[in-house]
Structure formats: structure tokens, C-alpha cells
Amino acid sequence: MQEYTDFFQQNMILSLVWVGLFIALIMSFVKAATAAYKEITAGEVTLLMNREDGVVVDIRSKDEFKKGHITDAVHILPSDIKAGNLSSLEKYKSNPIIVVCKTGQTAAESANLLAKAGFENVNLLKNGLAGWSDANLPLVRGKK
């Protein structure tokens, strides 16, 4: 036990970095377990869309949406979700909702807001549209 104490005292910065990383790892697991949404893969998105009438909600900018989006995706901006302007989504409250952004990093807040707004089954596409493209799944270009 004395060796551990000596190591920590001699390598204080290294020890603090390891403790910080450990705490960050635990926090990420806790956050994922308590999130109001579920993170799913591109394959799971296709299953939700085909078997359970899942609705893809694309929160990227209008220009990015026109460059390519998932078939039948509904375009809505994160600012509209924050403001509660969800009229285009109201008819889908009981359907599975799949929130999509460019890389999967910015959609978490919108997914949480949709869950708080009463949507029953909110999901988030892991790695966003980049993950969809990596799986070689099709995009619709130039519509809407």
C-alpha cells in the first residue's frame, strides 16, 4: 500500500488525470442510462422506419437538408424545437421519432426536448448522417 501512496505523491498530475478520466467515464455511462432518448444505429433506423412507421426528424440547416437527407425525413430546425413549434410533428407523437444531425453530436438536446414535449419513443441516430452514409444507405437529394 505504501508503494501506491508514494506513486500518487510523486506523480500527482498523472494521478489526477486518471481520476478525472475515470469520473468522466462513469458520468457518460450514467448520462446514457438516464437519457430520455435511445441511441440507435443506422440498421435499427431502417427497421423502425419499415416496421413501426418511424419518422426521421432532420435538424440540420435547410441547405444541408437539400444536399441529402433520409427518405421521408421531416425537416425542423433546433430553434423551432426549443421554441416549441412542433406543429409539423404533432401527428407523429405516438410514432417512433429518430432525430438526425450531421454527426450525432448536436441532436441530443433536441431529442431530450422532444421527449419532454410528450413524444413517446424518441431515438437518436448514432453518428448522425455520417453514420448513415458510412453504412452505404441511400439519401434523397434536392427535395423539400
pTM value is 0.78
What's the pLDDT tens digit per position in 20-62?
999 999 998 888 777 888 899 999 999 999 999 999 999 999 9
Residue 144 lies in a domain: no
Percentage above 90 pLDDT, the chain: 59
Number of domains in the chain: 2
63 & 12 share domain: no
**Within a domain: residue 99?**
yes
Which domain does 49 fall in, by range? 36-134
Q: Is residue 140 part of a domain?
A: no
The domain that contains 93 carries what CATH number? 3.40.250.10
- Torsion angle, CA of 57/62/63/64, rounded to 10 degrees? -20
Q: Are 21 and 72 in the same domain?
A: no
In contact, 74 and 117? CB cutoff 8 Å? no
